[in-house]
Amino acid sequence: MSDAVAEAPEAPVKSKKLPLILGLVLAIAGAGGGFYASSSGLLFSHGESTAVDAHGDPEAQIEPMPDIAFVEIEPITISLTGNKYVRHLRFRSQLEVNGTHQDDVELILPRIVDVLNSYLRALDVTEFEEPQALSKLRGQMLRRVQVVAGQGRVRDLLVMEFVLN
């Protein structure tokens, strides 16, 4: 009996590396094909084309930047009282102005800071808890700044920092 067990032919050992290597090669080929298709615009192009003008210059279609400048407003820190505790608001912003009116806006910057400071101090703490509070406050402050600066001088108010703690 022991001789019969010893003489039994052993089952051939199959290579388990072949499917792994084949899968790896196919994955690399698929990744390369996907990269080429997306970078060349075959995928996700939405009908857009990278048209070039008659002279072959792609830079000719880029519109020039508008004449704008940014005027930084010094940071404002305000104490807000309400609901048994005191909270502080730190606000920092910049004004987007037409380039030709930059000097005019810088000249009246103390007035602009005064208007923003007065408006922010008049707010209640509960007004900051609304989901759209920042966009609503930004619109109100922009309108006040435009009234102080004069029509057409200030294009936008950019909020750089708005921290309530």
In percent, the amount of the chain with pLDDT more than 90 equals: 47
The reported pLDDT for the residue numbered 164 is 87
The reported pLDDT for the residue numbered 8 is 56
Torsion of CA 13, 17, 23, 26, to 10 degrees: -110
pLDDT in tens, 21-48: 988 999 999 998 888 888 877 776 655 5
Q: How far apart are CA 142 and CA 121, in angstroms?
A: 16
Q: Which residues pair with 87 in a beta bridge?
A: 80
The reported pLDDT for the residue numbered 6 is 57
For residue 49, the 8-state DSSP code is: -
Q: How far apart are CA 157 and CA 67, in angstroms?
A: 16
Q: Is the pLDDT of residue 2 over 60?
A: no
pLDDT in tens, 53-75: 555 565 668 888 889 999 999 99
The reported pLDDT for the residue numbered 7 is 59
Which residue is it, tokens 């730190």? 90
- Better pLDDT: 93 or 46: 93
Torsion of CA 20, 25, 26, 31, to 10 degrees: 120
In order of their start, the domains of the chain are 68-164 (3.30.479)
Average pLDDT over residues 151-156: 92
The reported pLDDT for the residue numbered 104 is 93
The reported pLDDT for the residue numbered 62 is 85
